Amino acid sequence: MDVFARMRERIFHLAEIFELEKPLEVKKGLSQEVVCLPEGHLIVLDEGTRYSDLSELVATCKLGEREVLLGTLFFQRGLSKEEEKFAGMFANLTYPLRSLWTWKVMFEYLPENEFVLEFNEMLSFLQPLFGKKVAGGGLPLSPFKVVALKLIAEEFSDSSISISGNEEWKTYLSALEELKERVGVESLVELPERVNAPYRVTVEEKPYRHYRVEKKRK
């Protein structure tokens, strides 16, 4: 059995553990992603996908069953270049909250021993970053991913991780702390307002449920 076949088998086993209610499809692709739709889920694995990534991918599907826009960031059609930029900024800005909420789903469904193994692996990955300035560059991860790891570590252990940064970063971290217990699209939409982002985000239902991102009007 090749690596993809083993991963695919593991994913369908995890789908049972996470009690997924919708059909699930697994494919190979150029980039790893999860697509949550009202009719089912698609997990795309790439060459860099690790076996330890699989629980988080399936947990994202479960989160998407509760609210599709938490599992996948759908935006309006026909984005302009500026709107594409804003959509990317929104994805980065909200990544720590979405990642933390996914790990909460993992904690809810995974057997305790499996969750502890995955959590300890995450901590070992985070350990070399302790004491470094997240906003200062030179890190092997994006600042937003480091912040996500911080939130997860502090949620499920006694860790207290300090992140250095300017006033904008302090405002951002404070907003995350206030919003992290409010799981929902409302918190994600509120976050750009909290940090005075140059764009605004709303949720629209037609022709499909999606985020509308646009330049903030003065």
How far is Cα 157 from Cα 124, in angstroms, rounded to an integer?
A: 13
How far is Cα 51 from Cα 16, in angstroms, rounded to an integer?
A: 17
Contacts of 130 (CB under 8 A, 6+ apart): 161
Number of neighbouring beta carbons within 10 Å of residue 152: 23
Distance of CA 148 to the CA centre of its chain: 8
* Phi and psi angles of residue 23, each rounded to the nearest 5 degrees, phi first: -60, 150
Domain spans of the chain, in order of start = 3-71, 81-215
The tens place of each residue's pLDDT in the chain, 218 residues long, gives 689 999 999 999 999 999 999 999 999 999 999 999 989 999 999 999 999 899 999 999 999 999 999 999 999 999 999 999 999 999 999 999 999 999 999 999 999 999 999 998 888 776 665 554 444 444 456 789 889 988 999 999 887 777 777 888 889 999 999 999 999 999 999 999 999 999 999 999 999 999 999 998 87
Using alpha carbons, select from 101, 96, 90 the residue that is nearest to residue 163.
96
